[in-house]
Structure 1
């Protein structure tokens, strides 16, 4: 028995060592655990001749929440945010084409207008006709266009530090871009830490090997990401004329220390929306659903409860 226990301890130690020193394995293991805790499983579907990877959880009998990530991100940004939501909702988080595990053809269009129609076609492909939409950063820009173009499909809209408007105060990202710099594109391994500093106030803990691995992956994707970012700038669609077309109740949720897209964007958007709600999270950066997922989910759940109560009262 002692030999068995000793062997088991050694096996576990070796396994832990492998996970620590083989960061790709560590990342895959962490994602598997986090997806399981959120009640999400991975799927894929063909849309517009592209393979779109997505996570799905919760009963399909419940209202659908469709979550859209930002530039350089992927569907796993929503894992901890989604944990309390899969009990009451049918939750879907996709990888936009060009990101994550979805198709990345070099010659495709990745501007927000094209992506908005892909997301609408994705919803149709998985059999969803009406839904709640939420998006962060570029993903917020995309879902806002979706809601403006297809108002009959959208039950509610959550815009989390979204792109698409000229804020009252220029953000640090805008200033960097004017100087020809882009902190969102990681061209050298050391730039990855700068990116984390830029988007978070309090960074999630990352083991050093995993941080190094993620930095290397970001560098490998830098040329393609720069190409996508240039498309976003050249084919920019301002939201100011689109927001009045949105019929759905809309949550504007922002981190007050967002250096990417300034919180003063809310001052521009709120007067243009028919049914706005606002939440500003103190001491929080550009991706609240990653930096403080439980709190962000609570704000979102409170918003959804308000939407549901208003619908019941209006019957």
Structure 2
């Protein structure tokens, strides 16, 4: 059965806010308060609404927690801020503290969120976070396999601020068309919603600052990959193979580097499997969880 999801207006109506270092952060929760917590971490340049198709079926089983990270969606987007993946990991931990979540937490992450999840995994290995399991959707787990699109390269360049200023819905549509699967292109309504979230709080003005996650990944690469190689935390990759950014080529590298690699390839799916093939992602995620609970 196809998953119907949640319209953006309804999603926004369900949001709550909390203060993180003086900045207002939008967040969402669902599911029973005594269920196992599942933290959903979105990617760049979109927001937590990326999970809307999976939200209700996952909420029937787990206590869901998600936020628009600093600089994304309906959260604050301070100008001149030095955005950092490490700070975004701090934000996730602050949100869990705000919600009085104690004990270990499961994570499902995508894209930029994969890097935040890698930082949480490294903190777990260092005794600073309790991670129960982690599933990665398409993302740059290894800088050497990350193939950014042109606009990402331009945002990172000296003209990045100018590129962000002139970023538009049409440019978003053009870029997403290249990274979604050929048979699973975003609809006009989805593009409108993605753009509304990016545009909120003048988001294009900070895109060139958010993109600095790419060099930050290179700085943290050895620490993060080492944590993935030695951890006992159950890991899985569910990856859209047709993604030119972090598709089948990234999974090949994952299998080379990570012992007992648990990988699922969705052959015709692109960079946003939770949007393009939510039923498949749900099935493979639940199988991962059930396989460890049996």
When normalised by structure 1's length, the TM-score is 0.76
Deviations 1:163-199 (A, max 9, x none): 231355x6363898399699x9672443122122023
Distance 1:278 1:160 in 2: 10
* Residue 177 (1) aligns with residue 153 (2): yes
Distance 2:17 2:247 in 1: 34
Q: 1:61-140 counterparts in 2 under 5 A? A: 61-129=34-102, 130-140=104-114
Q: Choose from 241, 255, 258 the match for 2:226.
A: 241
Aligned counterpart, 1:24: none
Q: Choose from 165, 173, 178 the match for 1:198.
A: 178
* Unmatched segments (≥5 aa) in structure 2: 1-5
Distance 2:204 2:114 in 1: 22
Task: Tell me if the contact between 1:192 and 1:215 (Cα under 8 Å) persists in the aligned partners.
Answer: no
> Could you tell me how far 1:94 is from its partner in structure 2?
0.9
When normalised by structure 2's length, the TM-score is 0.81
* Residue 158 (1) aligns with residue 139 (2): no
- CA 216–265 in structure 1, closer or farther in 2 if over 3 Å, else same: closer
Greater RCO (CA < 8 Å, at least 6 residues apart):
2
> Could you tell me how far 1:82 is from its partner in structure 2?
1.9
> Could you tell me how far 1:211 is from its partner in structure 2?
7.3
Aligned counterpart, 1:10: none
Secondary structure in 1 matching 2:77: coil
* Residue 31 (1) aligns with residue 8 (2): yes
- CA 271–30 in structure 1, closer or farther in 2 if over 3 Å, else same: same
Distance 2:71 2:147 in 1: 25
Task: Tell me if the contact between 1:163 and 1:261 (Cα under 8 Å) persists in the aligned partners.
Answer: yes
Aligned counterpart, 1:295: 280
Task: Tell me if the contact between 1:74 and 1:99 (Cα under 8 Å) persists in the aligned partners.
Answer: yes
The worse-fitting range, judged by mean Cα deviation, of 109-118 and 73-82 is: 109-118
Q: Choose from 205, 211, 214 the match for 1:223.
A: 205
> Could you tell me how far 1:219 is from its partner in structure 2?
12
* Residue 41 (1) aligns with residue 14 (2): yes
Computing the radius of gyration over CA atoms, which structure comes out larger, 1 or 2? 1
State the number of aligned residues.
274
Task: Tell me if the contact between 1:173 and 1:261 (Cα under 8 Å) persists in the aligned partners.
Answer: no
Task: Tell me if the contact between 2:71 and 2:203 (Cα under 8 Å) persists in the aligned partners.
Answer: no
> Could you tell me how far 1:245 is from its partner in structure 2?
4.6
Secondary structure in 2 matching 1:93: strand
Alpha carbon RMSD of aligned pairs, Å?
A: 3.3
Aligned counterpart, 2:116: 142
Distance 1:212 1:92 in 2: 20
Distance 1:52 1:46 in 2: 6
Distance 2:124 2:167 in 1: 37
Distance 2:286 2:27 in 1: 22
* Unmatched segments (≥5 aa) in structure 1: 1-28, 310-315
Deviations 1:47-69 (A, max 9, x none): 33332211110001100110010
Aligned counterpart, 2:3: none
- CA 215–195 in structure 1, closer or farther in 2 if over 3 Å, else same: farther
> Could you tell me how far 1:240 is from its partner in structure 2?
2.5
Distance 2:172 2:151 in 1: 19
